Amino acid sequence: MKTSVFATSNNVTDIITPLQSTFFVGELPPYTYEQFYQLSVHLLTVGHKVSQTIANEIADKVWANSRNIRDCVRVGRMAKSVDDIQFLNTFLNYNS
């Protein structure tokens, strides 16, 4: 039986060398603003039922701070208004 294993990591240096040697390591380029914006808004509006206005604002604020799609989801789960987004923007730790 032929088997393939696919794995992802935010930082390949966190994976021990013997394990790294069993994988082909490829690096993806970071999202452009347009890609990030489209993906974030789609994920928030379709996947998490966030309004278009709030999804647009979340995408802009998160792009300016962390550029992490996961942060869009975190904010989207908590924010019910544009004011909430501004509060969460200053509250969340964007160093992760």
Band of the pLDDT at 93, cuts 50, 70, 90? low
Q: Which of 1, 14, 67 is nearest to 58 (CA)?
A: 67
Band of the pLDDT at 95, cuts 50, 70, 90? very low
**CB distance 65 to 89 below 8 Å:** yes
**CB distance 94 to 66 below 8 Å:** yes
- How far apart, in whole angstroms, are the C-alpha atoms of residue 38 and residue 35? 5
Q: What is the pLDDT of residues 28-52, one digit of tens each?
A: 899 999 999 999 999 999 999 999 9
DSSP H helices in 1-96: 17-20, 33-42, 52-65, 69-78, 82-91
Band of the pLDDT at 11, cuts 50, 70, 90? confident
Q: How much is the pTM?
A: 0.75
